[in-house]
Every structure is written in C-alpha cells, then in structure tokens.
Structure 1
C-alpha cells in the first residue's frame, strides 16, 4: 500500500474511533436525561457501555499475552500493525489502539441491539403513553447519526491539524 493510502486509511480509522467514543458519551447523556420523564432507564445499557469494552480489552490482552515460544502469525501481525502505525503521534493524541477500536466497535453494536430490545419491551408492556414510548427509537437514531457526524468532523479536524502541522 502506498504511503498516502496508508495515511488516509489510518486517518479514517482514528476518526471512526473518535466517532464511536463521542456517540457513546452522547448516548450515556441521553440515557441520564431520559431518567426524568420516564423515571426509569435500563441500567443494562449503561453497564454494557462501561463494562463490555473493558472486559473485551482484558480478554484480548489475555489472548495475546506475550508467549515467545507459541506466538502465532495472527498475533504477530496484530503487534506488528500496532508498532508500524504511521500516524503514531496522532494515535497517541487520541488514545487510539486497534484493540480499543475493536472493543468500541463491538460496544456500538451491543448498545444498538440493547436499545432495540428496550424499544420492544416498552411496546409490549405498554407502560408509557405515545411520546415517551418511542424515546429508545429516537435515541438509537441519534446514536447512529452522531457516530457518523463525529467521524466526519474528526476526519476534517485531523486533516486540518496535519495541514497546519498541529500534530
């Protein structure tokens, strides 16, 4: 892969990671805000958003523990990819690593599924009236849109930082 394509690919990955982080914080804020009108929020979404990425990173660290004698090519490829990151200063600036990116990506999928489950539970139980009943759907829409908007914003921000040598 040429140097320009590699840099552009890494820039896209870092901006996707930051989009995931921003959307996660936004969904946490929305869950806390919905506590007032609904008087209840599903704690499993908050717990999944906090505990799942940490547990996944811990599991990946155990899986790729440095055992010199039985190092598989796949594990060596991941560590080589981490070491040969072209935009290493930018990655450090945004606390990026491939393990964190994968954990946050899986966390995004999990929280999206849990929001769909919460919406289905509210529809089946008919606890709330119409405007409050569709809050999880709006939260899911905002969650997905905020991920993509934050990715675009951070893509331009990182590109602007490179142009101005503000690395």
Structure 2
C-alpha cells in the first residue's frame, strides 16, 4: 500500500477498510503498511474518529410535561438517503410514548421519503390514541408540508410550549 498516493485515492482506501469492503489480501497489505507507518496510522486514527462522529446520533430526546420531544442536534435532511430519517422513525416507533413533538428547526430539506416517515410516525401514534405535533418548522419544510396537505393532519406550532399546551 503506497502512502504517497493521491489524497482522494488514499481516503477511498481508508473508507473501504473502515467499511470492511476490502478483500483479505488488500486488508493484509493495508494493515501491514498503515499500522507500521506513523504518518498513515495517524491519518487512519483520525478517519476512524471522523467516521464515529458521523455515525453519532443527530437526534436528541427529552421529556416536557409528560410529552416526548425530539430535536436534531445539528442540521438534518429528511430525505431518502439520510440517516436522520431512520433515526427519527426508530425513536418514534420504538418508544412507548404516544404524545410526541418533533422540533424541525434544523431540518433543511424534506422529500417524499421524509414525508412518508412523518406520516408513518403520525399513523402509529394515532393508532395508539396519541398525537404527533411539529414545532419550529422551517419555511422550506412548511412549504412542502402545505403543498402535500400533510400540514392539515400534523399540526405545526411556532414553539415547543404552544405544542405542549395543545396536548391538554
């Protein structure tokens, strides 16, 4: 394995190694070089740290007056290829709470897959005598929710306190 290869090519090899996509011979060659070369070992260690950070959940959960509030800790997209979409679905469908607020203030984009997951969460909660409310909806997301009619089913509030009060 040549540590003097182009940076993009080197990153591609590291990514394949971290995702276990190299064959046995390539793994042996990779580890033989990267684990013995201080410069490359540092790069590998930083790449592992970055990969772990990217896998870290972007969704935080808290309780407010007996209601679950989900919020994204950094910018998020609710699109077919976004990890946040799976995190959101799991959080709502796997918990026992039936009263849920989702803070969409950091959601920059939503597509049909994201809308479908919101509706799946909504349906799950309604079937269990609960409700889903959204707060701090960005103008871009609001426009899509209005155009599709989802905003007539999932009530949006300007802040968390208004949404909490609406449950009573």
Q: TM-score over 0.5 for the alignment?
A: no
Q: What TM-score does the superposition give when structure 1 sets the normalisation length? A: 0.23
Q: Give the number of the structure whose alpha-carbon radius of gyration is greater.
A: 2
Q: Which has the higher contact order (CA 8 A, sep 6+)?
A: 1
